[in-house]
Structure 1
Amino acid sequence: MLAELSIRHFAIIEEVTVPFEEGLTVLTGETGAGKSIIIDAIGLLIGGRGSSEYVRHGSDRAEIEGLFYINEKHPVIEKTQGQGIEVTDGMIVLKRDITNSGKSICRINGKLVTLAILREIGQSLIDIHGQHEHQFLMQSDKHLSLLDQYLAADLKRTKEEYRQLYKRYVETDRQLKQLTENEQEMAHRIDLIQYQLDEIEKANLQPNEDEELMEEKQKLSNFEKLYQSVQDAYQALYGEQKGVDILGLSMGHLEDVADIDPALKPVQETVTNAYYALEDVSHQLRDYVETMEFDPERLTVIEERIHEINTLKRKYGNSVEEILEYSSRIEEELDTFTNKDDRIQSLNDKRKEIGKDLYLEAKQLSNLRKQAAGKLEKKILRQLKDLYMEKTTFQVAFHPANHASNIRMEIDGHEVQFGKHGMDEVEFLISTNPGEPLKPLAKIASGGELSRIILALKAIFSNQQEVASIIFDEVDTGVSGRVAQAIAEKIQKLSAGSQVLCITHLPQVAAMADRHLYIQKKIKGDRTLTIVKPLPFDEKVKEIARMISGVEITDLTKRHAKEMIQFADEVKITS
């Protein structure tokens, strides 16, 4: 759950820290006080699109930080581990700064991350539902993803197998088109490949040749310095009164006394080992000097060969190994082109076999979805009945996939299309009045109906999503009376054993709250500030009374508010 939210220099918020708890927390206040600004801040914290406009006037940056508590089995743990982010004691801290130039700085548990990673982790912790959800529900192309979300666990293996087959089919089809569509382009490609292969083969490159040549060039270019230094080193070690000779004298003296005092034995052995080691080194230096020979012609040959290799590097790779790898790749490509007819037949056969498997997997995917659709329809209708939409008819309609970018195959004499997600398109149809035909959701549902449909879907999907917190941003817009009470009870049920934050204008929802936060706007000097304060019982009664009556609070509205809270407490006990 979201345990604490800290906001600084964000919009009209100067600085505020809000602790949260489990259960249902409602945020209320006058219009324009900053309720939605707090939700906007949370949206940015989990990877929403930022802007310099969010930075409070006169400040360098806006800062948003949130502390989350999660259990050890939460799926976000795997995601953080994959990014090398350590999670201890079940705590995750998200932090996002937005500068007045519009740049974002994102951190998770103190580690700098990209906005994409912040979004991936953040959206696994919080699920925000606001007015944009209405727009999402209106788009029929999003309905398939909602159905798949409902079936997530059962569908995972089949969807992955379909995705892999689809990917293989598309790649095979691409190779076929490359071989068959443009003969002239292919001829040009063959000429180019043949020229490149001839150029590389003519060079007769050897693995690591460039590195070996550079080493040899370095030795020849510095021959005089190398010869003199090695010769001087040898002279310093070998000869009368030189390093080895002097060390030999020391060794002899120590051998004379090592038997007298055993404590000198290790010292004597060390010197003896050093003597023989230096003697061996001096012989190596002597042999090295004797084999040294300066060959100016060889240096010229090396420089010409390095130039030849560098010319090839500019065309085909950064090293000899990369050039040879490139040569192997284009040789395979040339073989494919020169044996085009055989290759086309092979690819056709391969595509046909993949297509058969793709169709079988698509049918399995479609069958699973249709089975799930029937269950989803029944569950949504039960939820809508609780929300006083008992006369509603809801259907998940299936249509064959139909898009210009789809794969097309002939199956049993009929053309079948396959998209990235299968052979189906799904659309939610609804009729809210008896006798009326089913129509697309976007064409029939009012704002209040959409609010209830969203809530019905959330009641079904909440157990499967495993997010730490759910936020409702005025999803109760457009309802009142008994419908408002039903929505309040539904939101309260969602909060049981979890955490729900809700911005609301409905007193019925506010009465259900386990914790009530009041958002207030104040003027301090010449600046506007947003203040968040938790309401004790008496203040909660006054706020709900204000929500009931508007500006004027009377004893009657206070009694009504207390009755609503008492009724809400009874509902919580019985639910």
Structure 2
Amino acid sequence: MLYNLHVKNLALIKEQEIEFSKGLNILTGETGAGKSVVIGSVNLALGGKADPSLIRTGEEYALVELTFGELEDIQKELLAGMDIPLEDDGTLVIQRKIMPGRSVSKVSGESVSARQLKDIGNILINIHGQNDHQELLQKKKHMEILDGYCDKDLSGLFGALSEDYKTMKDLEKELSESDIDESARIREQELLEFEIGEIEDAAVVPGEDKDLESLYHKMVNSRKISEAVYAVSSMISSGEGEETASDMVGRAVRELTSVVSYDEALNDLLSQLSDVENLLSDFGHSLSGYMKDLEFDDETFHNTEERLNTLNHLKDKYGGSLEAVLKYRDEKQLRLDALTDLDAHRNRLVKELDEIRSKVLLTCKNISDIRRKGAKALAKELKEALIDLNFLDVQFEIDVRSNEENVTAKGFDDVEFMISTNPGEALRPLDQIASGGELSRIMLALKTVVADKDDISTLIFDEIDAGISGKTAWKVSGKLGELSKEHQIICITHLPQIAAMADEHFMIEKGLSDGRTVTGIHSLNEEDSIKELARLLGGDKLTDAVLSNAKEMRQMAIEKKRG
């Protein structure tokens, strides 16, 4: 669940902290008080678009921080799979700092990307915005909802279908490309023979270019190397008339040897000095061998340069590395073999394509069968939920239509929600029937049904009550209360029927601080909550009658929740 929301310097909010509770958290306030900023700040923290204009005027940055706790085991497993650590107390802290031109996001102190934030958000919370119900008018959303409902049965099939579908499309493309006339075949064959021959004539060996580049670099700089090496050699062991390092160390050994018999403590020093003498001797031999190999004739240099030019030409032309060049040759050899006997190649492709298409269609049928079974179950649950939301005589079906000629990586089905809200009316597509208020209730019904199947414990509703009132508002209020028994609900509303159902009631209002407008958010006690209900009921003044009505409404809500 979401424990805490901390917002600083965001829009009209100077600094606010909200401690959410379990159950139903209600946020109310006058129009324009800044209710949407609360949902917006949660979206920002979870990877939403960071607009620098949201930073409070005069401030350098805006900050949003969310603290989650009491996570489900599956949520912990998913987060662990993303290498997202929890705090020692089991909480997860998400922080996003928004600055002009950039934003910085951290989870448990570790920096993360906006993409990672969104993935984490999908694990922890489900947000239903004011316009989300409009997505119900799009058929692709219907497929998404049904597949989500059937997820546990479909997930493995989608993985297999995706792989086979890609293979099928690749074969279709290859078969199409093989449909060429004789003159085009001959031209392509000649080009392939030239390219393959060019690579094979070069006798490419992986890694050869690196060795040659090292050798060429050594040759180009051989003069500088020679001068340095000969200077070192003269210092070590080949001085003419001058005492070298080897001479001096040898003399030092002789001097120490002459006195070692007088003090055993000198034995260790003599041993060390003798090692130095031997090391210098070995170094001298190694240096001498290196000097013999340092001489290059012009022919060796020319051959090395030419070989490098040949290899670099092939890399530029066929892939950037010798490994890529060889891979290109192998791919083109397969294509050349196919062109050499085009009829046999096409026959093989047709056979492989028929086999993979049959496999794809079988998987699509299995997916379709699961969808049809799931559609009946989901439609039944949705109908029951809609009746609870004051759809008195509603008919609801999910139409799953299959078309083997229209296969995609998601199968060959077309899914559409069908509804009738009045007796005697035929079932029709959702976008031809539902009003704004009906769409809001249908979305709430979906959330109620799906919430029992997913592992997300926190749901946010931003004005789910749009377009409803009266008895229907009470029905929606009851459904939210029911949903809040198993989930944490955070709901922005303007309806007193819904606000009356609150387990925790927050007031959002504008005020002045140091001559500037600020949005404030604070928790209401029972008495203040009833006053806010009275305001929502529409009274210009909080008369005894309005307050009495508000108290009665609150009591009705409490009894409804208990029932």
TM-score between the two structures when normalised by the length of structure 1: 0.88
Cα distance change on mapping 1:325 and 1:251 into 2, 3 Å: farther
The answer as to 2:494 corresponding to 1:505 is yes
1:364 aligns with 2:353: no
Partner of 1:345: 347
Q: What amino acid does structure 1 have at the position aligned with 2:353?
A: R
Mapped to 1, the partners of 2:70 and 2:426 lie a distance apart of 46
Q: Distance in 2 between matches of 1:104 and 1:338?
A: 58
Which stretch has the larger CA shift, 91-100 or 34-43? Answer: 91-100
Query: Measured at CA, do residues 291 and 38 of structure 1 come closer, stay the same or move farther in structure 2, by a change above 3 Å?
Result: closer
Q: Letter of the aligned partner of 2:21 in structure 1?
A: E
User: Would you say the 8 A contact 1:70–1:468 is kept in 2?
Assistant: no
- Secondary structure of the 1:478 match is coil
AA in 1 matched with 2:466: T
- Number of aligned pairs? 559
Match of residue 146 from structure 2: 147
CA distance in 1, matches of 2:62, 2:181: 56
SS state at 2:47 partner: coil
Distance change (3 Å), C-alpha of 1:203 and 1:15 = same
Question: How many angstroms does 1:380 deviate by?
Answer: 1.3
Deviation string, structure 1 residues 423-463 (Cα, Å, up to 9, x no partner): 21111111112211111111112223222211111111113
Paired residues of 1:50 and 1:98 also in contact (CA < 8 A): yes
Q: Tell me if the contact between 2:78 and 2:123 (Cα under 8 Å) persists in the aligned partners.
A: no
Q: Which residue in the other structure is 1:405 paired with?
A: none
**Shift of residue 474, structure 1, vs aligned partner:** 0.8
Q: 2-side partners of 1:177 and 1:183: how far apart? A: 15
**Tell me, which stretches of 5 or more residues in structure 1 are unaligned?**
402-407, 409-415
Q: How far apart in 2 are the matches of 1:290 and 1:93?
A: 66
Matched, 1:419 2:418: no
> Does the C-alpha gap of structure 1 residues 311 and 489 become closer, same or farther in structure 2, counting only changes over 3 Å?
same
Q: What SS is found at the alignment partner of 2:537?
A: helix
2: distance between equivalents of 1:394 and 1:139?
17
Q: CA–CA distance in 2 between the matches of 1:64 and 1:44?
A: 7
The aligned counterpart of 2:136 is 137
Deviation of residue 161 (structure 1)?
Answer: 2.0
Residue 54 of structure 2 is matched in structure 1 by: 54
Supply the AA of the counterpart residue of 1:14. K
Q: Does 1:518 align with 2:517?
A: no
CA deviations 1:281-308 (Å, max 9, x no partner) are 2222223334543413332333333333
Distance in 1 (alpha carbons) for counterparts of 2:363 and 2:128: 34
- Structure-2 change in CA distance of 1:4 and 1:267 (3 Å): farther
* C-alpha distance in structure 1 between counterparts of 2:76 and 2:140, whole Å: 28
In the alignment, is the contact (CA less than 8 A) between 2:87 and 2:108 conserved in 1? no
Choose from 499, 521, 530 the match for 2:519: 530
Q: Which residue of 2 aligns with 1:413?
A: none
CA contact (8 A) 1:511 1:564 kept: yes
- Residue of structure 1 in register with 2:312 after alignment: 310
Q: Who is 2:214 aligned against?
A: 215
Alignment-mate amino acid for residue 527 of structure 2: D
Preserved CA contact (<8 Å) 1:59 1:100: no
The aligned residue for residue 436 of structure 1 is 425
Cα 1:266–1:338 change in 2 (3 A) is farther
8 Å Cα contact 1:76-1:125 kept in structure 2: no
Q: Deviations over 1:526-564 (max 9, x none)?
A: 532211111111111100111123322122222232233
**What is residue 569 of structure 1 aligned with on the other side?**
558
Question: Which residue, 296, 299, 304 being the options, matches 1:297?
Answer: 299
Partner SS for 1:94? strand
C-alpha separation in 2, matches of 1:299 and 1:182: 49
Distance in 1 separating the partners of 2:165 and 2:182: 27
Counterpart CA distance in 2 for 1:186 and 1:27 is 71
Separation (CA, whole Å) in 2 of partners of 1:260 and 1:439: 115
2:486 matched to 1:486? no
Q: Cα deviation per residue 1:227-271 (whole Å; 9 max; x = unaligned)?
A: 343334334333796434544555566678878877666555444
Percent of pairs identical after alignment?
35
Query: Which letter maps to 2:418?
Result: L
In 2, Cα distance between the equivalents of 1:456 and 1:181?
56
Q: 1:311 to 1:363 in 2, by over 3 A?
A: closer
User: 1:376 Cα deviation (Å)?
Assistant: 1.2
Matched, 1:175 2:164: no
Letter in structure 2 aligned against 1:230: V
Match of residue 397 from structure 1:
399
- Asked whether the equivalents of residues 80 and 121 of structure 1 are also in contact (C-alpha less than 8 Å), the reply is no
| Distance (Å, rounded) in 1 between the aligned partners of 2:464 and 2:519 | 23
Residue matched to 2:34? 34
The 1-side partners of 2:294 and 2:496 are apart by 97
Q: Which runs of 5+ in 2 are unaligned?
A: none
Q: Write the mapping of 1:60-79 to structure 2, written as runs, cut at 5 A.
A: 60-69=60-69, 71=71, 73-75=73-75, 77-79=77-79
Name the aligned partner's letter for residue 124 of structure 2. Answer: L
Select between 524-533 and 421-430 the one with higher mean Cα deviation.
Answer: 524-533
Q: Say whether the 8 Å CA contact 1:76–1:121 is kept in structure 2.
A: no
Deviations 1:373-408 (A, max 9, x none): 12112211221222222421111112224xxxxxx6
The alignment partner of 1:545 has SS state of helix
**Paired letter, 2:559:** E
Displacement of 1:490: 1.2
C-alpha contact (below 8 Å) 2:72/2:455 kept by paired residues? no
What does the per-residue CA deviation read over 1:40-83, in whole Å, with 9 as the maximum and x for residues that have no partner?
A: 2222322334434434444454433322225262436535643x
Residue 349 of structure 1 aligns with an amino acid whose one-letter code is K
Give the match's secondary structure for 2:431.
helix
CA distance in 1, matches of 2:540, 2:416: 44
Instruction: Report the CA distance between 1:517 and its aligned residue.
Output: 0.6
- The residue that corresponds to 1:233 in the other structure is 232
Aligned pair 1:319/2:292, yes or no? no
Deviates more, 1:235-244 or 1:456-465: 235-244
1:84-95 superposed matches below 5 A: 84-89=83-88, 90-95=90-95
Comparing 329-338 and 452-461, the one that deviates more:
329-338
Residue pair 1:25, 1:515 contacting (<8 A) in 2 also:
yes
Structure 2 equivalent of residue 15 of structure 1: 15
Do the aligned partners of 2:371 and 2:400 also contact (CA within 8 Å) in 1? Answer: no
| Alpha-carbon contact 1:124-1:468 (below 8 Å) kept | no
Deviation at residue 86 of structure 1 after TM alignment: 3.3
Cα distance change, pair 140–246 in 1 and its aligned pair in 2 (3 A)? same
Which secondary structure does the structure 1 equivalent of 2:517 belong to? strand
